[in-house]
Amino acid sequence: MKLAAQATLAPSSASVLGKAVTRAADRLQISHSLLAKILGVSPTTITRLYQGGYELKASAKEWEFSLLFVRLYRSLDSIVSDDVLANQWLQSDNFGLHQKPIALIQTTEGLVRVVQYLDSSRGIV
């Protein structure tokens, strides 16, 4: 009976967001150190996140940055539908953003700008 009760428990929001962040980073070929910079946490924290030993805190900025990062991936995926092309887009100069998106997403303002840019581009398609 105890085993059946455990099987029906839903995963926590922090667990789901953590998996989404790590999967998006892997698909975009974002290094652990860069992901740490994007989320505003230490590289050690990112390693623990990948290993399942750390859950993102909903009360911290890392939560908001994680949501934005996943939103960036989902928007980009809906536009290009290919992880290789998505990575190329991140690494390329962007005339609309006046910089490479990979450089922009390393700051709060830049991450928000890139997400807004993708959202507006996605609306056109």
| Structural domain for 17, as ranges | 12-124
> Could you tell me the mean pLDDT of each successive run of 10 residues in the chain, 125 residues long?
59 95 98 98 98 96 98 96 96 96 98 96 69
The tally of domains found in the chain comes to 1
Is residue 5 one of the residues assigned to a domain? Answer: no
pLDDT on residue 25: 98
Instruction: Please state the length of the chain.
Output: 125
Is residue 41 one of the residues assigned to a domain? Answer: yes
Is residue 7 one of the residues assigned to a domain? Answer: no
Is residue 6 one of the residues assigned to a domain? Answer: no
Decide: residue 97, CB within 10 A, 0-12 exposed, 13-18 middle, 19+ buried.
middle
pLDDT on residue 9: 78
pLDDT on residue 1: 46
Is residue 57 one of the residues assigned to a domain? Answer: yes
Is residue 4 one of the residues assigned to a domain? Answer: no
